Amino acid sequence: MSLLAGNPLSVVALPFALALLIAAGGKKFVSITQWLAVVAPVAAALAGVGVLASSVPTAAQDVAWLSQGGSVVTAGLAIDNLTAVMLVIVGVVATCVVVFSIGYMADDDARPRYFALLALFTGAMSMLVMASSLVTLFIGWELVGACSYLLIGFWYRKPSASAAAVKAFLTTRIGDVGMLLGLALLWRVTGSLSIPEVLAAAPEIGAGIVTVIALLLFVGAAGKSAQFPLHIWLPDAMEGPTPVSALIHAATMVAAGVFLVVRMWPVFEVAPIALDVVLVVGVVTAFFAATVACVQLDIKKVLAYSTISQLGFMFAALGAGATGAAMFHLTTHAAFKALLFLGSGSVIHAVETQDIREMGGLLKKMPVTGTTWLIGVWALSGLPLLSGFFSKDGVIASVLHAAPLAGYALIAASLLTAFYAFRVTWFVFFGSYRGSAHPHEGGLVMTAPLIALAVPAIALGYFSAPFMQSLGHEAEALDPVVAGVSVTVAVIGVLLAAALYRLGVDRLETERTSLGPVHGVLFSAYGVDSFVTRFLVAPLEKVASWFYEVVDRKVIDGAAEGTAKLTMLFGRLASGLQTGETDVYASLLGVGFVVLMSIAIWLGR
């Protein structure tokens, strides 16, 4: 444990080596090598636990990564408590996901690629959270994005999967360009990209510039964490295998944006305008995504919008200045959302569809999945006793304190959360089965991870005090008023879902008609997607081909080719003068003489 905690590089290098080994082993050895993929996250978790247990942060291992003529850009890794918490989250969730995948992906031909990418992702994610330099962080940041791209497009034969993969990469890349500009500005202002140095210099940076830096970093965070309007890639990302969604698109990578803000907190702390932006974006995202989740018919789409919404809760907390509450919600969310995603994977594996209209009554047929799912939605809804209740309460309390109006919006989003969570639950697990498959549990490799994740989903809430203390915050007592209000709205949400759907499965069919045009707006997520396609993607293609046809071929190349043609034309004209007649030559000589003389005289004035 201390070996790993003391050598952050090994936590990165080991998964990369394992990825290579798994890929090299190929199909022949995959039934053995797939278990190697478990080693990577276990190592990450152990490193995290090692540091948390000893509460001695690992000193930064910095190297001069790019150095020339005396200027140096350092790269480095270190583990402090914040990193350790992230490592434990990544490690635990990834371990569960890898084990689950061994069952879920058992029939897939491309398992070596799959497990190699999972290992690669674990390494890249560990690098991201352990970075002691913004360059290292950015490398990890982009590598997890690449893994995400390759895993969303894992079933590349499906056009929708490959389109979703590209969309995910490109949308987050927009954020990354903002982040890159932020790094460049930090580099210019502070002359360093080492995180401790940059943070130490933050208070001295001018208010205007530090606000710009914070906003640019937030653009990067918003892309990665699917905040409005850069959220459009996450619902599509559900094209990837479901365990991947649990790991990358629910628990770890999409939380990296929140982590980034917390990591760079001293920069944000001195930029109140930037924090206001973070708050507004967070609240808008939380509410907007929750409304969309209410009408989705694809079980994974509901979870995807739910994730967007919950990440919005975390950013709202950050905007209110409550980094501890944000991190705590990040942690509990990682547990219960990964649980829900794996649960949905278990369901999809059993019923071979993602459409909730073709499910129903699965609690009896799949008791483990059903029970753990109930734990997950209980936590997600913020109903009392389970983890989500405590962490969401902290978020709402802090936002109410900072900006009451935003707090009310979050309370409304909480109501919607409970509503959509139980809407799906009634349709999937209660009533009678409406599909044509023969649903059953998927064996121990698939049920054990569900049970393992259910434990923190239940219990994490009771560790709020030590959690906050380890991150250097004071433990805050539950606010009874806020708790009362949020429990009340959650219960209303659950009851509303029950009243609307519990007794009549056919209600799902009438949802469209009874909601009228509102349904269309919600179902298409307010049309942001088609707006982007119509007003950004399509014009880009047009602009590109116009520039190519007109500017590049006609103007620039035309000028070059034209010069050549003109030269040839002059050559032909000039060669016409070569008549061999001396009188012509003599007269040209005369003309030339006069011209040259005039020039000479004019110049010598």
Partner 1 sequence: MILVLLVVLPLLGAIAAALSGRRNAQLPRVIALGTTVLTAAVSIAALVQLLGDHDAMFAWSYTGEPGMVVFRLVGDGLAMPFVLLTALLGIVAVLASWKIDDAPGAHHALLLSLQAAVTCVFLAGTLLLFYVAWEAVLIPMFFLIGKWGHENRRHAALKFFIYTFAGSALMLVGLLVALTYTGGGAIGDITVPIPADVQVWLFWLLAAGMLVKIPAWPLHTWLPDAHVEAPTAGSIMLAGVLLKIGGYGLLRVAIPYAPEGFKAAAPILAGLGIIGIVYGALMAFAQSDLKRLVAYSSVAHMGFVLLGISTGTALGFAGAVLAMVSHGLVAGLLFLLVGSLYERTHTREIARYGGLAAQVPRWATLFTFAALASLGLPGLSGFPGEFLAFIEGFGEFGWWMIPAGIGVFLAAVYNLSAVRRVNFGPLAGEWSSLADASTVELVAALPLVVAIIVLGVAPGLVLRLTDPVVRGITMILGGGS
- Report the interface residues with partner 1, using CB under 8 A: 64-71, 73, 135, 138-139, 141-143, 146, 149-150, 153, 156-157, 159, 161-163, 165-166, 169-170, 173-174, 176-178, 180-181, 183-185, 187-188, 540-541, 543-545, 547-549, 552, 556-557, 559-561, 564
Within 10 Å of residue 247's Cβ, how many Cβ atoms? Answer: 34
Which DSSP category does 556 fall into? I
Which DSSP category does 385 fall into? T
Rounded least distance, CB 176 to partner 1, Å: 8
Q: Which is nearer to partner 1, 12 or 47 (CB)?
A: 12
Rounded least distance, CB 381 to partner 1, Å: 38
Q: Which is nearer to partner 1, 65 or 463 (CB)?
A: 65
Amino acid making up residue 426: W
Rounded least distance, CB 190 to partner 1, Å: 11
Rounded least distance, CB 492 to partner 1, Å: 44
Rounded least distance, CB 162 to partner 1, Å: 4
Rounded least distance, CB 144 to partner 1, Å: 11
Q: Which is nearer to partner 1, 138 or 228 (CB)?
A: 138
As given in the structure block, the two tokens for residue 385 are: 């006793």
Closest C-alpha among 377, 376, 381, 406 to residue 393: 381
Compute, in degrees rounded to 10, the torsion defined by CA atoms 201, 203, 208, 211.
90
- Bridge partners (DSSP) listed for residue 68: 71
End-to-end CA distance of the chain: 90
- Say which residues have a Cβ less than 8 Å from residue 591's Cβ, sequence separation at least 6: none
The residue to which tokens 């907190």 are assigned: 265
- Is residue 315 within 8 A of residue 326, CB to CB? The reply is yes
Q: How far apart are CA 333 and CA 331, in angstroms?
A: 5
Q: Is residue 580 left, alpha or beta, with left meaning phi > 0 and alpha meaning psi from -120 to 50?
A: left
Q: How far apart are CA 11 and CA 222, in angstroms?
A: 27
Q: Which is nearer to partner 1, 75 or 489 (CB)?
A: 75
Q: Which is nearer to partner 1, 23 or 500 (CB)?
A: 23
Distance, C-alpha 56 to centroid of its chain: 30
Q: Which is nearer to partner 1, 184 or 499 (CB)?
A: 184
Rounded least distance, CB 578 to partner 1, Å: 23
Compute, in degrees rounded to 10, the torsion defined by CA atoms 572, 573, 579, 582.
-140
Which DSSP category does 194 fall into? B
Angle at 202 between CA 173 and CA 465, to 5 degrees: 85
Q: Which is nearer to partner 1, 180 or 508 (CB)?
A: 180
Rounded least distance, CB 183 to partner 1, Å: 7
Q: Which is nearer to partner 1, 213 or 302 (CB)?
A: 213
Q: Which is nearer to partner 1, 178 or 382 (CB)?
A: 178
Please classify residue 302 by burial: count the beta carbons closer than 10 Å to its beta carbon, then call 0-12 exposed, 13-18 middle and 19+ buried.
buried
Which DSSP category does 430 fall into? S
Q: How far apart are CA 503 and CA 299, in angstroms?
A: 20
Q: How far apart are CA 472 and CA 327, in angstroms?
A: 12
Q: Which is nearer to partner 1, 540 or 586 (CB)?
A: 540
Q: Which is nearer to partner 1, 188 or 605 (CB)?
A: 188
Q: How far apart are CA 196 and CA 571, in angstroms?
A: 68
Rounded least distance, CB 242 to partner 1, Å: 20
Rounded least distance, CB 271 to partner 1, Å: 18
Q: Which is nearer to partner 1, 364 or 554 (CB)?
A: 554
Q: How far apart are CA 3 and CA 47, in angstroms?
A: 8
Rounded least distance, CB 432 to partner 1, Å: 37
Q: Which is nearer to partner 1, 518 or 543 (CB)?
A: 543
- Is residue 154 within 8 A of residue 240, CB to CB? The reply is yes
Please classify residue 419 by burial: count the beta carbons closer than 10 Å to its beta carbon, then call 0-12 exposed, 13-18 middle and 19+ buried.
buried
Please classify residue 12 by burial: count the beta carbons closer than 10 Å to its beta carbon, then call 0-12 exposed, 13-18 middle and 19+ buried.
buried
- Say which residues have a Cβ less than 8 Å from residue 218's Cβ, sequence separation at least 6: 178, 261, 268, 274, 277, 278, 281
Rounded least distance, CB 461 to partner 1, Å: 37
Rounded least distance, CB 175 to partner 1, Å: 10
